[in-house]
Amino acid sequence: MQKQIICVSLMLWLSTLPCLAQQFPTDGIYLKHYDRKECLARVEAQIEKMKKAMLTMPSGQHDQFLNSHSRDRYRTGLPITPNQRQRVYAPKPPSQPNSAENTLRMMARFDAMRRSCR
């Protein structure tokens, strides 16, 4: 009697396993779409951090402005700080490329990051 109960319970248990493991064709599409959206969300958060960091960096145009501002203050006889005096006698060359070039480079990099999620 006990063997029959075990056999019946095993048959019932094994017959329910395929139902639990059944996967519909749309499930794969949903999982793929969900993974892509999750990846894009992570990449967009990364891009926002990178944009903030890059926007706070001084650009080459800013260095040129500081150089010309220091020269103008020196020529007009206004008081200047030691840092401005240093810029008058030895102008600091632009450390970063032009902001337009930098923006194009950033956009290309961000597009590559977004494409990596596909």
Q: Is residue 4 part of a domain?
A: no
Q: Is residue 17 part of a domain?
A: no
Gap between the Cα atoms of 86 and 70, Å rounded: 9
Chunked into runs of 10 residues, the chain (118 residues) has average pLDDT values of 74 63 71 82 91 74 85 91 89 73 86 88
Q: Which structural domain, as residue segments, surrounds residue 53?
A: 25-115
Give the pLDDT score at 17: 57
Task: State the total domains in the chain.
Answer: 1
pTM of the model: 0.49
Cα within 13 Å of Cα(25), Cβ side: 0
Q: Is residue 74 part of a domain?
A: yes
Q: Is residue 13 part of a domain?
A: no
Copy the structure tokens of residue 8: 């019946």
